[in-house]
Structure 1
Amino acid sequence: MNPMSDGPALTFRGGWTMAFVPVAIFLAFCVLYFVVLDAFDMTALATGGFLALLVGALLARGYSRYWDAVMSGIGSPTSVSIVVVLLIVGMLAQLIKDSDVSGGFVWIAELAGLSGSLLTLFTFLTCCVVAMATGSSIGTMFTAFPIFYPAGVLLGADPTLLAGAIVSGAIFGDNLAPISDTTIISASTQRFRRRDGAADIGGVVTSRARYALVAAALCALGYLMLGGAGGSGPVDEALLAESANPLGLVMLAPMAVMVLVAFFSRDIFKAVTVGLVLGTATALATGLLEPSGVIGVSDGAPTGYLVAGVSALLPTVCLVIAVFGIMGVLRAGGVLDRIVDGLARGRLAGTPRGAETAIGLGISATTVLFGGVNSASMLTFGPVADEIGARQGLHPYRRTNVMDCFAMGVSCVVPVFSAFLFIGALLTDGHESAPALSTTQLFGAAWYPLCLTVVMIVAVATGWGRTFEGPDGQLVRRREAAAEPAAA
């Protein structure tokens, strides 16, 4: 639908700009919880989204048409696929958390006698692996900070850089993990134009690795060179012994198989099934989990990682539903078409490089407005990026990677808005042996998102990794061999 021809299917009292009222209310909830109250809660964010929908309905001309638009957005193939995938991967992420993979890395650090800058580097790499295995940046931070931060400072690591290494590793894993909600969302919002379907997760992760690994390598070098500050004080042997568990390392084997299946089959459902079967068998065989840790009942309440994994993702699913409802309103009101037309007809998005620049700037601004919550920002901006990039023939993989990597860049760690930094600062507090840090201190030490932004600016400017959509959705390097730019 083009708003300049047939007109929008949904109109509002006060003009089409009133369609932004639900967005404004939703953003107000982001600022309230993440900036004012310092509380990271996806359920509260989803609540803001549903409240925004209720208020927006009062401004629409045609109450029933408004809710038809909401249901159309929620019931879109992209929305439904994201919901299903999130609930399934939630079980796998919970399995990894419950089987104590991080304890295995603490055991390695203790056994190898790592300290100072080597420990900072080791912590960064460990958090990268754990976040990739779980697909959860926030979960990795909550797991890693209590274990690595106080012990690492006692072992001579610079407190600020050690905390930054934890945040950086968590964001890297979230950026590259095939089971990450951000990976799933970014891929699912970018559709093919020469065949059915959206970007497959395996292909997206494979093509994204070049950017993520370069940024990670730069971070690793920096943490190795500067991560030791000659900390003083006795080593807390009791803390290290309590946290160390070498048996947790065996869970890396089924996770490696799962990642390989995801890469080669490019089928996330098949990969998760393999990961669940092998992971459960491994955890039970090694005693990391009891049968009740898989599924069971205690005092009338369900237990086990299967139930806990689904429950943990329900707030995110609610957020997805609310955001896609808002997107349905914006689409029916012609707002998305206006934004896309305005950007696509402008000089900036008139070339492939310009379209990528517009996507990078747009998702960065949206992520800052959403308090660094890149899953919500990509849900909101994804359809816009899809149209802008498709008009220049960019392959869905390329559109996905530009959007995701900029959302995981500097925009998600702006000190006064970032949920990542608020949580990181919170988790550095309360340790007798290590100082509490501010969000500003963490910003200067969380190098991965900073390096990733630089890498992506270079990639956009030079065309490194740029691909176009050819016949049947094939990757082609030259635009002349690709499909003609898709119409809106």
Structure 2
Amino acid sequence: MSDDGVDRARRHEVEEGRLVGAASGFDERARSGPELEFYGGEWVSFLPVVIFLGMIVVTTLWWSSISDGALWVPAFVAILVPFFLARDKSRFADVVVRGMASREAIIPVVAWIFAGVFSRVLRDTGLADALARVATSMHVGPTIFLVVTFVVSALFATASGTGFGTIATGMAVLYPAGVLLGVHPGLLAGSVISGAAFGDNLAPVSDTTIVSATTQGVDVPGVVRSRFKYAMAASALTIAALLVLPLWFHGAAQGVAEGQQNLVPLVSLLPVAVTIWVALRSGDIVIATSWGIVLTAMTAIAVGLMDVVQIDVPDAARPALLTVPGEGLDREVGGVIYTGIDSMLQVAVLALLLFGSIAVMRAGRGDVRLLNALESVARGPRSAEFTIAAMITALSAVMGLNAPAILATGASFAKPLGQRFGISPYRIANLMDAISCTLVYSLPWTPAVIFTISFARDTSAPLAATDATPFVVYAYAMMAVMIASILLGVGRGDNIAHAVAAMEERGEPVPEVYRRILAGASRRDAVTAVHGDRG
């Protein structure tokens, strides 16, 4: 999910260099020994993942808790226990610190903090209530609003390339408005996440798009064009499901409270539009939300929806950016800005702890062990694609992240498998990207889901992770589409001629299987002639 701090014009070349370098680093780890050794061998480096997943099931599913501790304690214990199994305790500590302080850990945390404040400022202007009133007056029902939520979120995510920015905006504006209209809260949150997943998969500036194309040595525009068919098929299934699901799952219309039935808060749509425009131009959620925070706050203050500061104002009629209640040592500084930051602490702390665990797994070569085990089952084009899909599924599920899963798999495993069985590099890139945008958006412990429910915590319809995950329809639709495409052999020949021409232009050796396919041989005959394997 793209929340990088570089402008869009330079994003491609910056990311290409960084991601190719990271892929080379994975290759070196695959060939060399582990950086971190454990009593019991390399598989022990998977212990943080096992402990976290085991405890999260207990705290969130069995005990039905959505508290900070329900997430933080499992993540912390997952790091603490393996410490005592590490042969070099000092190196273990260094790996954990490097993981938690890494760029891929810090960038989302920074983006979440800014997004949290922006979301809170928007929410406290009363924009959601005003939107709900307009929708009611136009007789927009819950089902139509649900579909609109998915489409708007998908368009924003595709244009901006930021899944987290989409979730922040959607949960700040569309979620509370939909709840007031009587849309099922879980379905509503799932529609926002679904739109974010759509954009993360299809956007040319998404980090998953860039890394999937880069690891296969193909161009981003060609990849986006060739994956359009998968995204459209999954979107059609998603919209069809969203039209039907409200028949069984529906919320209770709450209406708009007296005193809030005015349309003044709609002026906040102007800074929202500016924020979206900045996001599209810059591709940077921090830049966009910084403008959004300032412009929305200034607009709200100008029309009397919000105060700048309230000092010792009990039962204030409207929110303020800063509040100072209490006396003596009980004096506190709060307000809209503080509440926005505080709402992101849960997901920010969880992410830092999870990146510590991921670093331990990588340093112990647990991910290499997993990929080696999965690679051995590939016997033909279909089984090779299923193997690649399983690699991405497993890594993205345990990491809760999609770009690192593609990075770990793409150049070292997926590319050689694709070349061996004559599968187009464009198809491999699309397979990895599409599969990576499924479970990372629909498993209850992933940052995307925790980020989403963080916005719902202090609304009239708070959510547990498991309230939203069954309704991330796009993720399940895309998984079904990609499984069907594997079974039917869709896309295996996409742009092979273009890919071969690019290899020759770069001076890379062209696999003989590709040459035979371009000469007119069937894929099966080409593979059999070169490797003796039949798919």
Q: 2:400 aligns with which of 373, 377, 394?
A: 377
Query: What residue ranges of structure 1 are gaps of 5+ in the alignment?
Result: 153-161, 371-375, 431-438, 469-475
**Which residue is equivalent to 1:388?**
409
Are 2:265 and 2:305, in contact at CA under 8 Å, matched by a contact in 1? yes
Given residue 250 of structure 1, which amino acid in structure 2 is its aligned partner?
A: V
1:144-189 deviations in whole A, cap 9, x for unaligned?
A: 575233xx6xxxxxxxxx56642432322443578xxxx9996898
Judge conservation of contact 1:34–1:40 (CA < 8 Å) in 2.
yes
Q: Provide the residue aligned with 1:328 in structure 2.
A: 359
Q: How much has 1:458 moved relative to structure 2?
A: 5.8
Looking at structure 1, the residues matched to 151 and 305 of structure 2 have their Cα atoms a distance apart, in angstroms, of 22
**Is 1:122 paired with 2:153?**
no
Contact 2:126–2:265 (Cα < 8 Å) also in 1: yes
Contact kept in structure 2, 1:12 and 1:59, CA below 8 Å: yes
2:39 is matched with which residue: 4, 7, 13?
13
Q: What corresponds to 2:532 in structure 1?
A: none
1:30 positional shift: 1.4
Q: Distance in 2 between matches of 1:465 and 1:279?
A: 49
Residue type at the aligned position of 1:290: D
- Corresponding residue to 2:197 among 175, 181, 185: 175
- Among 266, 270, 279, the residue aligned to 1:249: 266
Aligned to 1:304: 335
Once structures 1 and 2 are overlaid, which stretch shifts more, 128-137 or 333-342? Answer: 128-137
**So what's the TM-score if we normalise by structure 2?**
0.62
Q: Which SS does the other structure have where 1:291 is aligned?
A: strand
| Count of matched residue pairs | 425
| Equivalent position of 1:63 in the other structure | 89
Contact 1:101 1:248 in 2 (8 A): yes
Query: What is the CA distance between 1:217 and its match in structure 2?
Result: 4.9
Equivalences for residues 20-419 of structure 1 within 5 A = 20-41=46-67, 43-114=69-140, 118-126=141-149, 129=152, 135-136=167-168, 143=176, 146-149=179-182, 162=184, 165-175=187-197, 215-221=234-240, 223-224=242-243, 245-292=262-309, 293=319, 295-299=321-325, 300-343=331-374, 347=378, 357-358=386-387, 360-362=389-391, 364=393, 377-378=400-401, 382-391=403-412, 392=414, 401-407=433-439, 412=443
Change (3 A) 1:295 1:104: closer
CA distance in 1, matches of 2:67, 2:386: 31
Q: Distance in 1 between matches of 2:83 and 2:303?
A: 55
Measure the CA separation in 1 of the matches of 2:405 and 2:389. Answer: 12
Q: Structure 1 pair 82/346, CA: closer, same or farther in 2 (3 Å)?
A: farther
> 101-110 or 258-267: which moved more?
258-267
TM superposition shift of 1:271: 2.6
Q: Which residue of 1 aligns with 2:515?
A: none
Unaligned runs of 5+ in 2: 1-26, 157-164, 310-318, 326-330, 416-424, 510-535
Shift in CA distance, 80/124, structure 1 to aligned 2, threshold 3 Å? same
Report the alpha carbon displacement of residue 285 of structure 1 after superposing the two structures with TM. 2.9
Which letter maps to 1:304? G
RMSD between superposed Cα atoms in Å: 5.0
Alpha-carbon distance between aligned partners in 2 of 1:273 and 1:207, rounded to the nearest angstrom = 35
The aligned runs of 1:402-441 (5 Å cut-off) are 402-407=434-439, 412=443
Structure-2 separation of matches of 1:110 and 1:3: 58
Residues 233-263 of structure 1: per-residue CA shift (max 9 Å, x gap): xx98965767755334333333333333333
CA 240–10 in structure 1, closer or farther in 2 if over 3 Å, else same? same
**Whole-angstrom distance in 2 between the partners of 1:268 and 1:339:** 34
Structure 1 residues 5, 222: closer, same or farther in 2, change over 3 A? closer
Aligned residue type for 1:265: S
CA contact (8 A) 2:100 2:356 kept: yes
Q: Is the 8 A contact 2:267 2:299 kept in 1?
A: yes
Give the partner amino acid of 1:143. P
Q: Aligned to 2:344, what secondary structure does the other structure show?
A: helix
Q: Residue deviations 1:314-344, cap 9 Å, x none? A: 2212112111111221122122222334445
CA deviation after TM superposition for structure 1 residue 51, in Å: 1.7
Separation (CA, whole Å) in 1 of partners of 2:498 and 2:33: 38
What percentage of aligned pairs have identical amino acids?
Answer: 26
Equivalent of residue 490 in structure 2, options 462, 467, 485 = 462
Label 1:100 to 1:450 Cα distance change in 2 as closer, same or farther (>3 A).
farther
1:79 touches 1:321 (CA, 8 Å); kept in 2? yes
Shift of 1:26: 0.8
Contact 1:109–1:119 (8 Å) recurs in 2? no
1:291–1:71: structure 2 CA closer, same or farther, 3 Å change rule? Answer: same
Contact 2:95 2:356 in 1 (8 A): yes
1:25-50 CA-partner distances (Å, limit 9, x unpaired): 11122101221012234553233222
Change in 2 beyond 3 A, CA 1:120/1:454: same
- Shift in alpha-carbon separation, 1:32–1:236, aligned structure 2, 3 A: closer
C-alpha displacement of 1:304: 3.4
| Higher mean C-alpha displacement, 399-408 vs 75-84 | 399-408
Matching residue of 2:525: none
CA distance in 2, matches of 1:289, 1:465: 58
**Retained in 1: the 8 A contact 2:405–2:436?**
no
Amino acid of the structure 2 residue aligned with 1:340? L
Q: CA deviation at 1:313?
A: 1.6
